[in-house]
Amino acid sequence: MHTQVAIVGAGPAGLLLSHMLRLAGISSVVLERGNRDHVGTRMRAGGLEHGAVALLEKVGLGQRLKDIGLIVEQTDFRFDGQGHRVDFAGMTQRCFTIYPQYEIVSDLLQAHAQAGQEILFDTPVTRITGVDTKQPRVYFLKDGQEHELSCDFIAGCDGYHGPCKQAIPEGVLKVYEENYPFAWLGILAEVAPPSLEVAYSCHERGFAMSSFRAPEISRLYLQCPVDDKSDNWSDDRVWSELHTRMDVPDRPALIEGRITQKSVTAMKNFVIEPMQYGQLFMAGDAAHIVPPTGAKGLNSALADISILAPAFSAFYQRGDRGPLDRYSETALKRVWQVQRFSADMCTLLHRFPDTSEFNWRAQRERLRYMTTDPTGALTYAENFVGLPFEEPA
């Protein structure tokens, strides 16, 4: 088997890349460890920056997004018993769109099916070789048998735990990592949020957040200990803690509903440099992770592809390898801006277990500055709606 670009991973990054390559007439094969159901139903991110929406529209994936995406124009920050709204859309003339990750994946799977482009599910990649040669190879299992795919390039879109980055030699790869001393209990509930806005709460008992995935589906989060388990959280305990942390007199109280999912997620920043080596190009969570406080993980994965797909086009259509050679440098500029914003939001909104009274007091003053001072609010607004994406040709 041979293809031009072998793509490891059928998450949003891998699927968008193969979709954009097909539009440019470049062949690719997507190899995915999980099965189709697993890939299509994963409940993860929910919000798209304006640049991500523009990119999806440009590559023909804008219709359902337009039909069912929900526009958000302001964020409500709650602290010291009060709500403080930041009208980010008014400040930037851009909005944020709630469109769950599983909908993007579903649109991409549908586009692949319509184009007759097969995705190889249940095919875990075991190793890749020859990334510093003209003919790298990807080895994968299918029905227990090892198979080999030769290619011109490999795109490592295999998430944080995937195998591709291991092909970059130790002396070349630099890993930056920050782990936080708390986690998030993520809750999915069948109930409409009190209003269609994202609300963050910085409370002395810990961070809480109210968002949504659809008009009748709330997505809620509670800061919890790093080693916590979702079994420790009965539904009553979840709602009681959410009310304590989220409800303030000047905002409608949270409405309770049937909880359908609870899971604990660790918080970390992680970046590898460079994001490429030889014929291997890393994208999305495989190359960088952010704590989800700034809603950037999915957006960053799509932003990488907005750079990588046109770089492959430049190579195959014009014989110009320059954009590919500069991919890591170009992508990392945006990646680090997103890391900086996500780390700031994470630090600003959580209650650190060992924080001093001084830091806790100063933390809320930083929040007050960000929500009430025009300069502070504009800085938040510009970062939240998103830094520019590369414009695909």
Four-residue CA torsion sign, 109, 113, 115, 121: positive
- Considering only CA atoms, which of 214, 199, 193 is closest in space to residue 100? 214
> For ligand RFL, what does the binding mask look like between residues 116 and 155, x meaning CB under 6 A?
--------xx------------------------------
Binding flag, residue 8, ligand RFL (CB under 6 A): yes
Choose the stretch contacting ligand RFL; rule: CB under 6 A; options: 26-34, 165-173, 228-236, 322-330: 26-34
By CB under 6 A, name the one of 69, 136, 206, 292 that touches ligand RFL.
292
By CB under 6 A, name the one of 5, 7, 28, 32 that touches ligand RFL.
32
| Phi, psi values for residue 357, rounded to 5° | -60, -35
Binding flag, residue 379, ligand RFL (CB under 6 A): no
Binding flag, residue 100, ligand RFL (CB under 6 A): no
Four-residue CA torsion sign, 160, 163, 165, 170: positive
d(C-alpha 384, C-alpha 50), whole Å: 10
* Burial class, 96, CB count within 10 angstroms (exposed 0-12 / middle 13-18 / buried 19+): buried
d(C-alpha 296, C-alpha 335), whole Å: 10
Binding flag, residue 262, ligand RFL (CB under 6 A): no
d(C-alpha 88, C-alpha 380), whole Å: 8
Four-residue CA torsion sign, 114, 136, 31, 59: negative
Binding flag, residue 45, ligand RFL (CB under 6 A): yes
Query: To the nearest whole angstrom, how small is the minimum distance from the Cβ of residue 45 to ligand RFL?
Result: 3
Binding flag, residue 285, ligand RFL (CB under 6 A): yes
Beta bridge partners of 281: 155, 276
Choose the stretch contacting ligand RFL; rule: CB under 6 A; options: 192-200, 242-250, 274-282, 289-297: 289-297
Query: To the nearest whole angstrom, how small is the minimum distance from the Cβ of residue 160 to ligand RFL?
Result: 7
Choose the stretch contacting ligand RFL; rule: CB under 6 A; options: 44-52, 167-175, 244-252, 324-332: 44-52
Tokens of 341: 């914003």
Q: Which residues bind ligand RFL (CB under 6 A)?
A: 8-14, 31-34, 39, 44-46, 101, 124-125, 157-159, 162-163, 265, 284-285, 292, 295-299, 301
